[in-house]
Structure 1
């Protein structure tokens, strides 16, 4: 998790998760995009933390990929001024990273960061738009499921599982999905039913299913001998406190403040600017530099590579010139005698 005030922010009006969300990206960008999409709110989004959280790519590769995701329309970094208060005497700047599973164009990001986005206006890549209009993705996923009867139904409520055919509650569903997030915490149906009331208490106290799942899977021992006992212990020990519900103030007493636009920061170098001046989330210097390119990178011809290897090998071989005849030694008179 990032420091308070920093980290990931989810953009509004995103399309539902699909397997083909990042098929339009290269392999490395698609891999890291799926990782970033699963992060919870306020999670750290800097290159150093992301490089530590996965085993395939280092900081340089992650930094380049973040630039590529910004150009593709999935990511924007913004700077926001926080007024003095809460122990801080001066105005400070915090950095938010807005993430969108649905790819957006520069115009949408500029409108959203200026505070003029319209709810329900979902912009995406052409491939994703075709899937949304035709609905061809849903039947394919249904056909690939060999046992649809065993699929978990959608989340319904935070209360314990009701009887009848209304399906499991959100608490039961969250516990049942733990095995998908962390195989060491795979629970049986009896385990989920026994722990359902404790999980429902979490949700009643304001916790979200993502927060509950993160608290259960963080810092697991290796191996986990009793998943049910470990989950029960964590549900009891980490139970959030009860919150007092404060009624909202009347609308008439709240004076609407001026709309404040966010200041976009370059994804690569961090220089601030207006959204219109940073298309693709990059400043002019980073766009013209050798960093991110909208064109795919082509590998060199194997024949050229082989020729380069041959030239390097010839340069490392010492060059010897022809032997120069030396002076003829004089005959020793003692030997002739």
Structure 2
């Protein structure tokens, strides 16, 4: 092999041989280390996924590179629950491998120290190291993280959320939580906000937040999702449920009217156009029945004015019929 190399005089990044010759790191992972290592301080708080997108590492390629960097000790993450029950993630990126204990110690020191009091990086090799001389890199996991989101300033995000209705806010939370169900549906804050209105239509049509999340993450393509934004947008449009049917109108409450039945004057509240209250209507129906079937009418001379029921009268008739042959035989 013929070899010829000219060292650049400006705009270059020093890459350690341990990184370049690492056998367990793919080319995407190595390029990502060198890219982040050369970032200015002003961009150190951006998410690692945002940096990867800028150099064309997206989707499954990014997830594979990130997994390799975590196994090799170049990336460390901690999930924690903040105020309001929101889950967030702290992410530390280094151009030198760190153990979990070293990363935790560095995280604690950086959380307490001022920018001018930062301690040197663990394993620093004389040049600027991403291990500790740079701020931690936060990866956006939910809204209202301790550091401002990379896509929208904190003040603008607060105004935007305040100007939306509750369904849009809940829909945006569901879209941001898709990354926890599957890394293939990792949406940024701006992407989730752009789809929140479409997702809010599902909630307005009676779909619960858990049902919406299930509809978006279930049945993913076997060959993976190329674009999380395009895939989620396609499902929100194609699987939109039917709108809720309007509730039946409530019948108006009718005012009380005077009952036209016999007895003392009284009023009742009708359900339709009836002119008799329920007791008077029942009494009128019994009178009409007894007028048609006088046999079953109560005896006015009886001590009891209770009407004779048909079952009792039927038993009496049977008893009379059974008694007649016995009296005839006796005579």
TM over 0.5: no
Normalised by the size of structure 2, how large is the TM-score?
A: 0.27
Greater relative contact order (CA < 8 Å, ≥ 6 in sequence): 1
Structure with bigger gyration radius: 2
